[in-house]
Amino acid sequence: MQRWLSIGEFSKVTHLPVKTLRHYHEVGVVVPAAIDPASGYRRYGTDQVGSAHLVRRLRNLDMPLAEVRTVIEAPEEQARNRAILSYLARMERQLAQAQLAVASLRALLEAPTDSLVVEYRLTPTQPAVARRAVVEGAAVSEWCAATYPLLYAAIAEGGAVPAGIGGALYPSEFFEKGVGEVIAFVPTADRLAVAEDSRDASRHGLVEAIDIPGTNLAVALHCGSFDELDRTYGSLGTYVAARSLAGPGPIREYYLVTPDETDDPDELRTEVAWPIRPRSEDQTQPNTKGAMT
Amino acid sequence: MQRWLSIGEFSKVTHLPVKTLRHYHEVGVVVPAAIDPASGYRRYGTDQVGSAHLVRRLRNLDMPLAEVRTVIEAPEEQARNRAILSYLARMERQLAQAQLAVASLRALLEAPTDSLVVEYRLTPTQPAVARRAVVEGAAVSEWCAATYPLLYAAIAEGGAVPAGIGGALYPSEFFEKGVGEVIAFVPTADRLAVAEDSRDASRHGLVEAIDIPGTNLAVALHCGSFDELDRTYGSLGTYVAARSLAGPGPIREYYLVTPDETDDPDELRTEVAWPIRPRSEDQTQPNTKGAMT
DNA sequence: TTGCTCCTCACGTCACGTGAGGTGGC
DNA sequence: TTGCTCCTCACGTCACGTGAGGTGGC
């Protein structure tokens, strides 16, 4: 009664194309129960159908094949289901992402280019608590959302209060390679000692006390979702480049109104700060405003 | 005042990695305004920033680069926006698809394998109106949704009424290659003459009058979403293979309760009919029932 | 002059898809 | 015996990513 299924039969009962099944065999995701030694024909067991259905669903959700393999090789059903459910959670976040991307595209098509107001600013060197990590472009808002609570907690633990707006440093590499070391920080009045403890305590949520170096900045205010930030980068970066103002150092963002404070993306306020080389005027008049339409 | 942007600067204002920009140059999606003849350095114009932003958003939505290129090369803004909006509509359908895939995976993990009731059936050759097309696996439900209204319209136009449940024929190739010629049909009492007219009238919604050949079938009822159909295929196909019953001809589906009749996917009813070779019992007792758990 | 930015070229990756050319099973 | 199914290579595709090795600009 126990019969094998040929690759064609298995294809029909799993809805996986034959070429795909051969590929899955090659990479070890769905391995036939037996191979006919004479003909080389693949023979699939009826008990492999359920597993193949699972593979098809996971691939429909774009789970990488390597990950699919570890899921279906998981010995206990518990671990397997946990892996799948965590991937589902990731997927659902990604779906929300895609919907934001659609909204962002709509916005780009409809919204006119805003007039740009650029402020020149000379920031002093400032102590801060900070956390750094090598982050991918797409993951940065998630990482920030996880980081700032840690920073505020570290400040509170140190018996201090924030001395300014929280921000982050993005090196050129972050944009040019799509991944780089990002430093999120919250300014403090003085160098915090407590932060050194938490540095030793845990390598994961590693919070440090550092100095954010002073520099000359060209600053523009971005109103709206982080997904739209490239537009302000475009306007400000073009403005800076057209005037040959660019200086060394990472680009900064200051988060004036954060997702913690509002649920409406339109109410978010972010300053984009482009490093510029010092100019003689800046020495005497550190806060100048220039406008462009 | 008009200045060029180097690839690094352009990368920062567009949030596109340098390697990606070079690739886009190579394939002609974002071509630098000028190339320094001495150094080979790419020079981007400030007016290219907006277009690059658009490219980034379209790629975030996984639009193929070739299509992105035609969009940004579209001379009139009208045509461009139409192309984008139609892609957005496609995307939103795909997002809905992905959410269904998540639901389908959840269902697979939670639902137990139902007991399978297999009915043997000998269908006579039957006249029908039909429409055929080479369809991809993923597009089939959409194609069917567009097709059945045409078929019912053709029957009404011919002054006839449907003589049975609508269905479709799926050749092995459809599953084994992932694409194949599908024939959707609605039975009629007699061969419809009018269908010949509509055949001449339009090559698009080409509706034909054909005979659906009689055959022996093993039939199982599928309750629920089309996305879950593979499970019934798995049970029924395994059942047929284990008993070496398989015969020639396409697999059929009969749509007893369709999405037109209910909005709840759980209420959908589809018969999956596997062609089997004739058996002596079937000659005398065409309708037998077998049950399996 | 040093270090940084930029260049090309060739190859790798991921998940298949596409023939070509040939053999086994009913 | 014929036609169908199945086999294995080898190469193609898509959208980049990854070095290697080298040069130009401030």
CB distance under 7 Å to strand C: residues: A 17, 19-20, 23-24, 27, 36, 38-39, 41, 59, 64-66, 172, 176; B 6-9, 18, 22, 39-42, 177-178
Window A158-177, strand D contacts by Cβ < 7 Å: 177
Q: Note whether A15 contacts B230, CB cutoff 8 Å.
A: yes
Question: What does the pLDDT look like over A210-237, one tens digit per residue?
Answer: 999 999 999 999 999 999 999 999 999 9
Label residue A292 by pLDDT band (50, 70, 90): very low
Model pLDDT, residue B83 = 79
The closest alpha carbon to B186, from B268, B123, B130, belongs to B130
Q: How buried is residue B260: exposed, middle or buried, by Cβ count under 10 Å (0-12/13-18/19+)?
A: exposed
User: Max Cα separation, chain B?
Assistant: 93
Instruction: Looking at the complex, report in whole angstroms how far the Cα of residue B82 sits from the nearest Cα belonging to chain A.
Output: 11
Q: Which amino acid is at A88?
A: L
Closest nucleotide over all strands to A59 (CA to C1'): C15
B140 CA from C19 C1′ (Å)? 26
Model pLDDT, residue B85 = 81
Model pLDDT, residue B2 = 54
Structure token digits, residue A132? 């750094």
Model pLDDT, residue B205 = 63
Q: Note whether A17 contacts B54, CB cutoff 8 Å.
A: no
- Residue with the larger pLDDT of the pair B231 and B287: B231
Kindly report the three-state secondary structure assignment for every residue of chain A.
CCCCECHHHHHHHHCCCHHHHHHHHHCCCCCCCEECCCCCCEEECHHHHHHHHHHHHHHHCCCCHHHHHHHHHCCCHHHHHHHHHHHHHHHHHHHHHHHHHHHHHHHHHHCCCCCEEEEEEEECCEEEEEEEEEEEHHHHHHHHHHHHHHHHHHHHHCCCCECCCCEEEECHHHHHCCEEEEEEEEEECCCCCHHHHHHHHCCCCCCEEEEECCEEEEEEEEECCHHHHHHHHHHHHHHHHHCCCECCCCEEEEEEECCCCCCCHHHCEEEEEEEECCCHHHHHCCCEEEEEC
Q: Note whether A50 contacts B113, CB cutoff 8 Å.
A: yes
- Residue with the larger pLDDT of the pair B284 and B91: B91
Residue B86 near chain A (CB below 8 Å) = no
- Tokens 């550092």 locate to A210
Instruction: Looking at the complex, report in whole angstroms how far the Cα of residue A13 sits from the nearest Cα belonging to chain B.
Output: 4
Nearest to A88 among B5, B105, B236 (CB): B105
Q: Which nucleotides of C are covered by protein (CB under 7 A)?
A: 5-8, 14-18, 23-25
B18: closest chain A residue by CA: A176
Structure token digits, residue A73? 């090789």
Top mean pLDDT of A139-143, A181-185, B134-138 is at A181-185
**pLDDT value at B196 more than 60:** no
B51 CA from C4 C1′ (Å)? 28
Specify whether the CB–CB gap between A258 and A268 falls below 8 A: yes
Residue A59 near chain B (CB below 8 Å) = no
Report the pLDDT averaged over residues A146-164. Answer: 92
Report the pLDDT averaged over residues B164-192. Answer: 94
Label residue B280 by pLDDT band (50, 70, 90): low
- Tokens 């915090």 locate to A192
**pLDDT value at A251 more than 90:** yes
Residue B77 near chain A (CB below 8 Å) = no
**pLDDT value at A287 more than 80:** no
Residue A100 near chain B (CB below 8 Å) = no
Handedness of CA A147, A150, A152, A154 (dihedral sign): negative
Question: What does the pLDDT look like over A63-82, one tens digit per residue?
Answer: 899 989 988 888 787 778 88
**pLDDT value at B200 more than 70:** no
> What radius of gyration do chain B's Cα atoms show?
27
Q: Note whether B15 contacts A230, CB cutoff 8 Å.
A: yes
Asked whether residue B7's C-beta has any atom of DNA/RNA strand D within 7 A, the reply is: no
Average pLDDT of the residues of chain B:
87
**pLDDT value at A184 more than 80:** yes
- Cα distance between residue B77 and residue B71, in whole Å: 9
Nearest to B49 among A57, A102, A234 (CB): A234
A102: closest chain B residue by CA: B88
Instruction: Looking at the complex, report in whole angstroms how far the Cα of residue A209 sits from the nearest Cα belonging to chain B.
Output: 28
Q: Note whether B230 contacts A56, CB cutoff 8 Å.
A: yes
Q: Which amino acid is at B253?
A: E
**pLDDT value at A291 more than 50:** no
Asked whether residue A178's C-beta has any atom of DNA/RNA strand D within 7 A, the reply is: yes
Preferred mutation among B12, B71, B114, B276 to probe A, highest tally of A CBs within 10 A:
B12
Nearest to A12 among B1, B15, B233 (CB): B233
Model pLDDT, residue B283 = 43
Question: What does the pLDDT look like over B71-95, one tens digit per residue?
Answer: 888 878 787 888 788 887 877 777 7
Contacts of A272 in chain B (CB under 8 A): none
Q: Note whether B88 contacts A105, CB cutoff 8 Å.
A: yes
A50 CA from D3 C1′ (Å)? 33
- Cα distance between residue A67 and residue A45, in whole Å: 23
- Residue with the larger pLDDT of the pair B282 and A25: A25
Q: A23: Cβ–Cβ under 8 A, 6 or more apart, which residues?
A: none
Specify whether the CB–CB gap between A8 and B248 falls below 8 A: no
Report the pLDDT averaged over residues A84-99. Answer: 78
Model pLDDT, residue A158 = 85
Distance of CA A112 to the CA centre of its chain: 27
Asked whether residue A9's C-beta has any atom of DNA/RNA strand D within 7 A, the reply is: yes
A143 CA from C13 C1′ (Å)? 27
**pLDDT value at A198 more than 70:** no
**pLDDT value at B272 more than 90:** yes
Structure token digits, residue B291? 């049950």
Model pLDDT, residue A282 = 45
Question: What does the pLDDT look like over B21-72, one tens digit per residue?
Answer: 999 999 999 999 999 988 889 999 999 999 999 999 999 888 899 989 988 8
Specify whether the CB–CB gap between A229 and A272 falls below 8 A: yes
**pLDDT value at A53 more than 50:** yes
Residue A18 near chain B (CB below 8 Å) = yes
Asked whether residue B59's C-beta has any atom of DNA/RNA strand D within 7 A, the reply is: yes
Specify whether the CB–CB gap between B207 and B131 falls below 8 A: yes
Label residue B9 by pLDDT band (50, 70, 90): very high
Give the three-class secondary structure for B271.
Answer: strand
Question: What does the pLDDT look like over B207-255, one tens digit per residue?
Answer: 999 999 999 999 999 999 999 999 999 999 999 999 989 999 999 999 9
Q: Note whether B176 contacts A5, CB cutoff 8 Å.
A: no
